[in-house]
Structure formats: C-alpha cells, structure tokens
Chains A and B, each alone.
Chain A
Amino acid sequence: MVPKTQMLPKFKRRQFVYYSDLIAVLVSRELKLLYKRSLLGIAWTLINPLLQLAVFSFVFRGVLQVSIPHYASYAFSGLLIWSWTQTSLVQATGLITNNRALIRQPGFPIAILPIVTVTTGLIHLLLALPVLLIFLAWEGVPLQPVVLLLPVLLAIQFGLTVSLAYPLAAMNVTFRDTQHTVAVILQLMAYLLPIFYALEQVPESFRSIYTLNPMVPLLDAYRKILVYGAMPAWEGILLLGALAAVLLPLGYRIFKRQSDRFVEEL
C-alpha cells in the first residue's frame, strides 16, 4: 500500500536529513507563531511557571509550612519538568484534529507531529533552564559534574511523553473531548506529584502507589542531579529507560494502526 522505497544508504541518509529538517521547520513554526501572536512572545514560557512558583511557594511555604532545602530550585525544577510533559500531552492530543492540512498532504509522515510537539516543549524547557540556574545560584547550590546526566533524563522523558502522545492523539480523532479530559486529568496529576512538596511528606501507605507513577522517580532523578549534586538511583533510571523503550514502539504502533482512518474521520 505504501509507496515502496529502496533502502539504499544514500536514500536513507536523505530520509534522515529530511526528517530532521521537517521537525526543525515545524518546531520553529510553533515557536514563531507563539512569538508573533503575543505581545510578550517567548517570555510566556517563563511567566507561566514563575507565576505558579510565586503562588505555590506562598501557599506551601507561607501557609502550609513546608520546609524543603533550596525550595525555589526544588519547586521550580519540578514545575518545569512536569509542565513539559503536561503541555506536550495536552497539545499532542489535539494534533491530528488541528492539522487537517498536513494530514491530507500526500506523503506527509503524520507520525512526526507528536515528536514536533514534544520537541517544542523541550525547547521551552531549555529556554527556561537559565532561570533555574539563577535560582540555584541564588540559593547557593553549586552544579556538580553529575549534571551531565541531564540529557539522559531528558531523553527518557522525551520517549515516555511521545509514547503517551501517540495513542492520545489517535484517540482524540474518535472522541473529540479527549483533549479536555486529558487536560483535566493532567492538571489534577500535578497535585499528585511531589512538585511543591517532598515525597517523604506523603504518608508511608500511599508512597508505594506514588512511585508507580514514572514521573515520580523521574522528578527525583532530575532533582538529584540538579539540586543535590548526587548520583540518581541507577536502577530507577534503567527501569524508566526500559519503560520508554517498551512504550514508545507500542504507542507508535497504535497510532499507525489508527492513522489510516484519520482522513476518513476528520
């Protein structure tokens, strides 16, 4: 059914260049649109988490008296990391339904769209990273060499997010309220993650349920390398990597199987 392609090395290389160009141009389109449509442009990337940080810091430190060392760095890192996954998933869910033109374009690799969305989110995260560095410096936390593991963690989170984005995007074609449902669930999920509080504050009996959420060990690993300059738990990282390696092809397969009827249902 699919146009047959010869797998000559030269062809493969062109294909690789093509896909990376395609991702780059679509990501930059997203960023440019965001930048052009608003007065504050890219600054929104920072304003949103900073406002949240301000409010939640007041609530958790001022009202609820949470005492976590380097609280600003702790909370802000958690917030950045979670909002990458959260916004990517919400946006990715609406991808197919919002991109009719591209879906109908002959030869367009639809499966690239969720990758574009998650990459866009990653760029927002990277743009906000300097602010985290300022918080770290402000709270007197020196960066340790272990921070070099950051790309590994980012890669794992990238894989996990994309593998969830695939089935959600496909599901939204059949059920148009998937996007709203996902948004609500993820909003609530934010409270069930140790972003503004520590896992240790969660009652013992709930803690094991908490750690079933792959986001929990992931957040922990990020904080270890960024805030505490410590080696994250290896087995946790390996497990997460393995999970991403299993979920990614699975999500992709579901998406692919559904993608044949996207045009029919749009």
Chain B
Amino acid sequence: MSPIAVSVQNLGKRFHRFHSNRPRTIMEAALSGWRRLKPTDYFWALRNVSFTVAPGQMLGVLGHNGAGKSTLLQLLGGVGRADEGSIQINGRIGALLDLGASFHADLTGRENVFVSAIAAGLTRREVQRRFGAIVEFAELEPFIDSPLRTYSTGMQMRLAFSIAVHTAPDVLLVDEHLSVGDIAFQTKCLDRIMDLKANGCAIVLISQSAEQICELCDQGLWLNQGQIAALGEPHAVADAYARRMAAKSLPQPNQTYSREIEITGVEILDANHNPTRYISSGEGVTFVITYEVHQPLTDAIFSVSISHEDGQIYFNTHTAIAGLSLPLEIGTGQIILKLGRLDLVSNQYFANIGVFARDWSHTYDYHWHQHAFEVGWTPATGGILHPPQQWEIRQKSSSISV
C-alpha cells in the first residue's frame, strides 16, 4: 500500500456569485436578452489548503459553519472540481455523509441495501457477500424485507451507517454526526470506525467539536474562512480553536441584567494611584468600582477578572473568596481591589467586573470586555506570566549569579 492515502496540495475552490436577478428559466433568460447569466463575482471557499493523511490515520477538520469543511469533503469525494491545486486519493473512497439520502421509502430494506451499496462503489457480488454482515450490524434482520417507510428514522440511519462502513473503503469521509442511534449503537459505530482505521483506512472527519477531534484524531486541521488556521497535533489545534470559539460565545457587552445593583464606573489605577490604561508588568494595579444600589440587599458578590481578548481568563477573584459580606443600601458606593503586582506578559487585556447574588443564582450587572488596559513591556516569550526572574548557573568550581 502506498504510504499516503490522501494528499492535498495547495487546494483552492472558488464559488461564483451570480446576479440576484439571475434568470432561472429559459423564458426569463430569453426575456432578459441572455444577460445576467455570467457570474458577477466569486469568492474562495477554500484556498491554499495542503495536507496529507496516511493509511490508518484520522484527520480531524475543525471549523464553524461556512469555514469550508463541507466543500473540502466534497472535493475529496470527487464531487465538483477544484480551481487550484490537486487532490490525490489512493484507493476507494467511502463516506458517512448524508446518511440514507439515497434510500427510497417504497423499496424494502434489502432493495435499498443493494442500491445504496452499489452506488457507494461495491459490485453486486461484493454486496451479496456482505449482505448478512450489513443487516446483522444494523440489527434489522426481522425487518429487512419490509418497505423502508415502515422503518423508524433510527432504523434507517442504522442501515445507512452499516452499509457505509461495510463498503471497505481505503479512505473514509465522515461528518460529525458519525454515530447514530442509541448509546449502545453509537459505541458500536465508533468501534467499527476504529476497526476500519486499525485496518489501514484513512479517515477525514469534519466536526465543530474540538473534544471529538482530541479524542479521535491523529492530526487536527482548523479551517477558518477557507484557509488553514492551524494544522498539527490535535490537542494544540483543538485548544486554539476552542479558545477562539470561547471568545465568541461569552456574554456580549450591553447585555441586560437585572440591575438591582448597577456598575456605574470602573477606574484602573497604576501604582501611583493615577488613572491609566497602561500598567508596567510587575507593577501593582488598583481597580475602583463605583456602583449604585437600586434595591437594598442583604449581600452581594463583586468579582474582578482579567482576560485576554480571545476570552481566556488569566486571573479571577471575588468578594466571597475573601469572606466579605456586603450589606447594601440604596445609594452609591465604591469597592476597591488592589493587586500587589501584576506579572502578566505584555499584551492587551480586559478587566471584567461583575456583581452577583449571594448564591450566584443571578447576575445583577456584568461588564465583560468593556475595560481594556495594556500591560507592557516584556520580552515576547509566548507564555502568559512574566514574574520577576533570575537565572543561576552552578558549576563545580564556582557559582556565578547573573
């Protein structure tokens, strides 16, 4: 067997945009004088995508909707043609996509097995040989000669899945809904996929779930707007993806909260107690929160966190940790948090301020990513922290402090 099952080089796929009044019928086209038939514009659904998958390897493709995952899978399956680059597939290709789409409700399970399996690339004799295994795997022996319309959706999916995994593909394309049916059957599906993989089948899985990629794949690929955002070790790729997604899914500013207490102002003070947006790494910092109480409360929790713009929280504290009880009466007040030093690396950060009920049951007010400040300057190290540091080298003869 060749050492490479799938090789994609510099792949690019362009989609055309057409005039919004593009004629859809011959009549309209003739009436519009055969104009507006040419694409007005195009965009790249995929660009500069290169990777290889070895037999027995699983590549996980991450990306949110519209990132080009499905387009990639289609091109790999020989559906449509690339505008740039090349795809090389060694061996027969199988797919766990659109499960059961080619089934026909009026045909029996048996007839559908033959149609689907032959359409998926097996000869009649090959289907005959595997028929028993397909039906057994799908757990549908008693129903196989009933019309498909008498099957539940779950039964249809099981049958479709079983057909797809029994075509013995060399390369399998899978979309994220790779397991169907109840938990027991899902486990069976996954086991079967792992079996195929162990027997040298190369698998390309598309998914929106970073977890799934970490669990199953040997290689991760993150597609963002048709381009590779990250490629490599699945955990690293999944982490990067998850962080980006977290930043997008966290609460947005200006969300409305119940506002029994309202945060009316946040000031960031440097070590000299001057308002600032710039803190030197290793210096102290003070957050002054001004609030207004609209309803008397027996207690509340104030929280302060520091996060990066990707949503990762580097520091988080609240008044409950400190054991503070805060009876609040109507009116305004200030609460101040002093940090002795802030040892973050040079970057843009946000101070996030929240006020919560005593039992965290709801949020009175929350400022997320509204108060930006910068920490400077530290050498670019790629880490998060920049504490005071000192190297020491000890040799046998002497010790030198640097």
Interface residues of A, Cβ cutoff 8 Å to B: 1-4, 14, 17-18, 21-22, 24-26, 29, 32-33, 36-37, 100-108, 175-178, 181, 260-264
Contacts and interface: CB of A to CB of B under 8 A. Distances in A.
Interface centre among A4, A101, A102, A106 (most CB of B within 10 A): A106
Contacts of A14: 123
B124 A1 contact: no
A36 B78 CA distance: 34
A104 B101 contact: yes
B121 A29 contact: no
Interface stretch (B89-97, B229-237, B285-293, B340-348): B89-97
B363 interface: no
A261 B24 CA distance: 15
A178 B26 contact: yes
Contact of B81 (A103, A176, A260): A260
Contact of A105 (B82, B89, B107, B120): B120
Nearest to A16: B123
B106 A37 contact: yes
Contact of A25 (B23, B25, B93, B115): B115
Contacts of A262: 80
A166 B229 CA distance: 41
Interface in B312-357: none
B86 A106 contact: no
Contact of B98 (A3, A32, A104, A181): A104
A101 B25 contact: no
Contacts of A260: 80-81
Contacts, number: 110
B77 interface: yes
22 contacts: A4-B89, A18-B118, A18-B122, A22-B119, A24-B124, A25-B124, A29-B107, A29-B111, A33-B104, A33-B107, A36-B106, A100-B101, A103-B79, A104-B74, A105-B98, A105-B102, A177-B26, A177-B27, A260-B81, A261-B80, A263-B80, A264-B15
B44 interface: no
Nearest to A261: B80
Contacts of B89: 3-4
B114 interface: yes
Nearest to B80: A263
Contact of A175 (B26, B74, B80, B101): B26
A101 B102 contact: yes
Given A2-B78, A3-B88, A102 B25 contact: no
Interface in B39-78: 73-74, 76-78
Contacts of A176: 24-25
A18 B123 contact: yes
Interface centre among B76, B79, B80, B93 (most CB of A within 10 A): B79
B8 to A, nearest CB: 11
B129 to A, nearest CB: 13
Given A3-B88, A106-B94, A264-B15, A25 B79 contact: no
B127 to A, nearest CB: 8
A101 B24 contact: no
A224 B349 CA distance: 90
B119 A108 contact: yes
Top 10 A-B pairs ranked by shortest CB distance?
A: A106-B77, A101-B101, A177-B25, A260-B81, A3-B89, A101-B102, A21-B124, A106-B95, A175-B26, A25-B118
Instruction: State the main secondary structure of chain A at its contact with B.
Output: helix
A90 to B, nearest CB: 15
Nearest to B95: A106
A104 B73 CA distance: 10
A185 to B, nearest CB: 11
Nearest to B29: A175
B19 interface: no
B75 to A, nearest CB: 8
Nearest to B147: A36
Nearest to B88: A4
Contacts of A33: 104, 106-107
Contacts of B118: 18, 21-22, 25
B121 A107 contact: yes
A32 B115 CA distance: 12
B115 A106 contact: no
A100 B101 CA distance: 9
A108 B74 CA distance: 12
A178 B25 CA distance: 7
A2 B16 CA distance: 21
Contacts of A177: 24-27
Contact of A264 (B80, B82, B93, B120): B80
Nearest to B75: A1
A25 B173 contact: no
Contacts of A106: 73-74, 76-79, 93-95, 97, 173
B87 interface: yes
Nearest to A17: B123
B79 A32 contact: no
B123 A175 contact: no
A102 B86 contact: no
Contacts of B76: 106
A175 B119 contact: no
A24 B376 CA distance: 73
Given A25-B124, A36-B107, A101-B102, 8 more contacts: A1-B81, A14-B123, A21-B124, A37-B106, A106-B79, A107-B78, A176-B25, A260-B81
Nearest to B6: A3
Contacts of B79: 103-106, 263
A25 B101 contact: no
Contact of A181 (B26, B95, B104): B26
Nearest to A105: B119
Nearest to B120: A105
